[in-house]
Amino acid sequence: MTTSPPTCPEWPSFPHLPSGNSRFAAAQVHHGLGGTQLGFTTPPTLVTNDPAEACEFMDRSRV
């Protein structure tokens, strides 16, 4: 019985971005996910430029 070597996750791609921006975005994803591999958890996160959405997120996030 033969086993396949473990597969590595595929490097993310952002074809809609210019080449330099695409590489930067992929590196940010790589570095951000690195923490999860070390056991760190990601807190609830929102990226927006909508003030109402930000306020709603903060209201939901308050303990």
In 3D space, the residue among 52, 31, 30, 56 whose CA is nearest the CA of residue 44 turns out to be 56
pLDDT tens for the chain, 63 residues long, are 566 665 665 677 788 889 889 888 888 877 776 666 677 777 888 888 899 999 999 999 876
pLDDT value of position 4: 65
For the full predicted model, state whether its pTM sits above 0.85. no
Does residue 14 sit in helix, strand or coil?
Answer: coil
pLDDT value of position 30: 74
pLDDT value of position 41: 75
pLDDT value of position 63: 63
